[in-house]
Amino acid sequence: MTDTQGTGQDHAGGQDGGEGKDRRVSPTRIADPRLRFEFARAAIWSLVVGGILLAVYIAKPLLVVFGAMVFAAMIDGGARLLGRVLPIGRTWRVAIVILLGILFFAWLGYFAGTTISNEAAQFPAIVERQINQLLIWARAQGFDISQEQLENHVGAVTSGIGTVTRALGGLFGGLTTIVLILIIGIYVALEPKLYQRGLEWMLPRGKRAHFAGTLEQMAFTLRRLMAGRLLGMVVEGIFTYLMLAYFSRLVGVGEVPMAALLAILTGLLAFIPNLGAIVSGVLMALVGFAGGVDMGIYTIVVYLFVQNFDGYVIIPMIAKKTVDLAPALVLAAQLVMGLLFGILGIFLADPLLAMLKVALERRADRNVEEDQAMAAATVIPPSTGSPLRGNHSNGA
């Protein structure tokens, strides 16, 4: 009986071993370790290339989502400021901020439609006339520049801008993109913790705390950055209008034409660092020289004063509490993002660069903490006395 059972067990073990052997020689298994290594390396490269292609394909929708995050940070910052003076729920504070924004743009549209509509209609003609005057001056200095050549260059630039701007559309189109940014941004601003928890749950449990801290730091930086941007827009717009409409009379050059329009354009273009200031300065100088050399020089002085005040007073005040980005780095990011994604890329280049800097700084801090923890774990604590030393003392 025992022999029979043992034989049965041996037979069962043989069957199990045969099944294990069959599994080992499965057609999907690569026996040679060198082939397995090459296959793993090829799979990794395939995943990397596929990830890059996927990122390129969905880059525009991701940029729209990031634009919504920037808009949500602006709303969140306003709601937090209201929370210091209004002890009401967050939903009501967000609604008040959105309502104030709608009322501001409604007033701006009404003001632009009733006050500066005629100035806006005359603005292109003044710019064209000043460009012609610039051509005449260049020819008098010996430069062989014809009207046809200038039109060709302008046409090429316009075509390039159109191509870059069309890149913005992609899957959505301009108006649809703005609507999506507004809707997603409002949803995120209403319940930011909900989406933050959703992102945290996608990560391993041990990394959630660090990721949550990184998101909090990014949100704080983004709110401060956007607050500084809005403050700079308001300051530049108000100072430009006061100096072009009123202070110019005191210095004897008279009121600069289209002061309100130039102030609004300067304030709006201040949202785009570096590039916006250059465009607003060129427009201001063109309109100023239409009223004479003295007025043109005065507009240049106004432009330099406003930009220096914003650059040396307003921006440093905000940069102390956020990230201090190098101007050359910001300009390079704007050029690259503008080439890839058009106007939306130019608008979001600065916030995106700030977020990347925060992420890199957090990663560097985490590396330092890990190195310190590893160094502390490997240090041998000083000995308080070995058994040999104790025995020797007892023997003594």
* 169: pLDDT strictly greater than 70: no
Domain presence at residue 384: no
Domain presence at residue 363: yes
Q: Give residue 150's pLDDT band: very low, low, confident or very high (50, 70, 90).
A: low
Q: Give residue 179's pLDDT band: very low, low, confident or very high (50, 70, 90).
A: confident
* pLDDT score for 148: 58
Count of beta carbons in the 10 Å neighbourhood of residue 360: 10
Distance CA 214, CA 357 (A): 11
Domain presence at residue 350: yes
Q: Which residue from 278, 295, 14 is spatially nearest to 130, judged by alpha carbons?
A: 295
Average pLDDT over residues 11-35: 56
* 215: pLDDT strictly greater than 80: yes
CB 256 within 8 A of CB 123: no
Distance CA 156, CA 169 (A): 20
Average pLDDT over residues 132-150: 64
* pLDDT score for 340: 80
Average pLDDT over residues 136-142: 68
Rounded to the nearest 5°, which phi and psi values hold at 223?
-65, -45
Average pLDDT over residues 59-71: 86
* pLDDT score for 293: 79
Least confident of 37-41, 239-243, 310-314, 348-352: 310-314
Rounded to the nearest 5°, which phi and psi values hold at 273?
-60, 150
* pLDDT score for 58: 79
* pLDDT score for 130: 66
Average pLDDT over residues 337-351: 82
Count of beta carbons in the 10 Å neighbourhood of residue 217: 17
Q: Which residue from 271, 261, 218, 7 is spatially nearest to 114, judged by alpha carbons?
A: 261
Task: Give percent above pLDDT 90 in the chain.
Answer: 2
Q: Which residue from 238, 197, 233, 237 is spatially nearest to 216, judged by alpha carbons?
A: 197
* pLDDT score for 384: 54
Angle (CA) 133-134-138 rounded to 5° is 120
Half-sphere exposure of 251 (CA within 13 A, CB side): 17
4 CB-near residues (< 8 Å, 6+ apart): none
Domain presence at residue 223: yes
Count of beta carbons in the 10 Å neighbourhood of residue 320: 9
* pLDDT score for 390: 47
Distance CA 320, CA 313 (A): 11
Domain presence at residue 17: no
Q: Give residue 96's pLDDT band: very low, low, confident or very high (50, 70, 90).
A: very high
Half-sphere exposure of 286 (CA within 13 A, CB side): 20
Question: Tokens 């049965």 appear where?
Answer: 8
Q: Give residue 323's pLDDT band: very low, low, confident or very high (50, 70, 90).
A: low
Q: Is 177 exposed, middle or buried (0-12, 13-18, 19+ CB in 10 A)?
A: buried
Q: Which two tokens stand for residue 33?
A: 């370790």
pLDDT, greater one: 15 or 329? 329
Domain presence at residue 91: yes
* 43, 47, 53, 59 alpha-carbon torsion, rounded to 10°: 180
Structural domains of the chain, count: 1
* pLDDT score for 43: 83
Cα 259 to Cα 177, 243, 383, 386: the distances in Å are 32, 9, 80, 87
Provide the mean pLDDT of the chain: 75
Distance CA 258, CA 262 (A): 6
Q: Which domain holds residue 158?
A: 59-368
Q: Is 370 exposed, middle or buried (0-12, 13-18, 19+ CB in 10 A)?
A: exposed
Q: Which two tokens stand for residue 205?
A: 């449990």
Question: Tokens 């330099």 appear where?
Answer: 304
CB 211 within 8 A of CB 203: yes
Distance CA 55, CA 60 (A): 9
Average pLDDT over residues 21-44: 69
Q: 366-390: per-residue pLDDT in tens? A: 888 878 888 888 765 555 554 444 4
* 26: pLDDT strictly greater than 70: no
Domain presence at residue 25: no
Q: Is 222 exposed, middle or buried (0-12, 13-18, 19+ CB in 10 A)?
A: buried
Name the residue type at position 3: D
Domain presence at residue 254: yes
Task: Give percent above pLDDT 70 in the chain.
Answer: 69
**Residue spans of alpha helices (H) in 84-191:** 90-114, 117-140, 147-169, 174-190
* pLDDT score for 305: 86
